[in-house]
Amino acid sequence: MLAAPDLLLYLCTDRALALGRPITGAVEAAIAGGVTMVQLREKEASAGEFYRIAREVQAVTRRHHVPLVINDRLDIALAVGAEGLHIGQSDLPLPAARRLAGKTMFIGLSASTVEEALEAQAAGADYLGVGAVYPTGSKADAGEAVGIGRLREICAAVRIPVAAIGGVNAGNAAEVMKTGAAGIAVISGILSQPDIEEAARNLRRILDTGAREQEGR
Amino acid sequence: MLAAPDLLLYLCTDRALALGRPITGAVEAAIAGGVTMVQLREKEASAGEFYRIAREVQAVTRRHHVPLVINDRLDIALAVGAEGLHIGQSDLPLPAARRLAGKTMFIGLSASTVEEALEAQAAGADYLGVGAVYPTGSKADAGEAVGIGRLREICAAVRIPVAAIGGVNAGNAAEVMKTGAAGIAVISGILSQPDIEEAARNLRRILDTGAREQEGR
């Protein structure tokens, strides 16, 4: 298994939310602003299209030494040689994914309860995506909001790093970091902003402060 | 690479067309009637659900020594250890799929023109699914019908076996076999019939006669 990935500012892509801008340019700008990891999520694309987009985005992430994570499709993650795989509770079971992914790919799992989080950790997840922390429109299937209280419980319950996802933005990122989260996963808070690089840089500033405060405690 | 699979009577599943009957029982009945290969196609299911169904159906196909083929999701094919993968023109490119699948899994490709068929053969496809031969309601994305004439051209143009798919039934299977096809792929012609085993057996009889006539030529 790889070292734990840097979840501090984790960009999850959704082309529909990038205001019509090409995804490669959007990812490049987000990385310039300080994004530490990029997840490609393509629920509507065919596998061929997903593969093509993954290779294009990978040319950007590799150039900047930022890990690329593929959502759900382990075959595409393997085909492009992505650094990570992210799976949800209704995706391929983690043990099956781990057998295929081997030790060179890290695997993150979505969790929204302490129980799911502990189960994911026991099954060998390398990190957790916990959300939706706040109500959000980005993911139609995200269900009821987890809230800051339960996010804090989950962060306290597990040893693996947690990325807080769902409705996290510059206005609440500092509060989120106080829960012990290793970082935040952001879609529209970066992708839907008029200046992607500046939006990422602004979030990164808040997160760096939050991380320093975590270390200080 | 494995020996060429037996395409003679190739059942492609679509749970929506099984008239509400459980898919495992439907597959069991179809195999009892003479189906030589089974493809699982789950475009709507989550990966977790697809994996679960694949394992259930595999318990049936293994018991009867009938190869199981997974549509599109190579990760699920690898996770369950399926005998084959079927990919369409918009799925993962064949060379990428082959690299991951290795030599133990056969790979079939959908083709609807001589050009696509030759390209798939050159790329190393183990068999072709060619269609829709006749207009059909089973696959919404199947496009315009290929027709018997072009099916014959494709069968003559390639060395790898061809399964004719799309609107093939007991009324036209004999005509289809005269094109040189190695067999037929059937969804509703088996799954939507009141007696699945009898429908498969009836088709198999016609195909056995057609295959003998091909050998006689």
> Domains of chain B (ranges plus CATH)?
9-215 (3.20.20.70)
Distance CA B37, CA B101 (A): 19
Show the tokens assigned to B188: 């509703």
CA distance A96 to chain B (A): 6
Average pLDDT of span A11-31? 92
**Other CB atoms within 10 Å distance of the CB of residue A45:** 18
Which of A73, A98, A139, A204 does the annotation list as catalytic? A139
**pLDDT 10s digits, A110-134:** 999 999 999 999 999 999 999 999 9
Is A217 marked active-site? no
CA distance A50 to chain B (A): 8
B202 by DSSP, 3-state: which? helix
pLDDT at B139: 56
* Of B5-14, B15-24, B106-115, B162-171, minimum mean pLDDT range: B15-24
CA closest to A78 among chain B residues? B100
**Residue B133 CB burial class (10 angstroms; 0-12, 13-18, ≥19):** buried
**pLDDT 10s digits, B64-90:** 999 999 999 999 999 999 999 999 999
Is A110 marked active-site? yes
Interface test mutation site (partner B, options A44, A92, A109, max chain B beta carbons within 10 A): A92
Average pLDDT of span A168-189? 96
Amino acid code (one letter) for B23: I
Indicate if the pLDDT at residue B142 is higher than 60. Answer: no
Indicate if the pLDDT at residue B2 is higher than 70. Answer: no
pLDDT at A43: 87
Contact B100 A79 (CB under 8 A): yes
Average pLDDT of span B125-154? 85
CA closest to B95 among chain A residues? A79
Identify the bridge partners of residue A183 per DSSP, sorted by sequence position: A163
Interface test mutation site (partner A, options B53, B75, B89, max chain A beta carbons within 10 A): B75
Contact in structure between A165 and A40 (CB atoms under 8 Å): no
**pLDDT 10s digits, A86-111:** 999 999 999 999 999 988 899 999 99
Distance CA A85, CA A40 (A): 10
In the Cβ-directed half-sphere of A70, how many Cα atoms lie within 13 Å?
A: 26
- B47, B48, B42, B44: which is closest to B23 by C-alpha? B42
| Mean pLDDT (chain B, rounded) | 93
% of chain B beyond a pLDDT of 70: 94
DSSP H or E stretch at residue A28: helix A23-32
Contact A96 B72 (CB under 8 A): no
Q: What's this model's pTM, rounded to 2 decimal places?
A: 0.92
Cis before residue B32, ω within 30 degrees of 0? no
Q: Which one-letter DSSP state was computed for residue A41?
A: -
Q: What is the DSSP string of B31-87?
A: HHTT--EEEE--SSS-HHHHHHHHHHHHHHHHHTT--EEEES-HHHHHHHT-SEEEE
Indicate if the pLDDT at residue A65 is higher than 80. Answer: yes
pLDDT at A1: 44
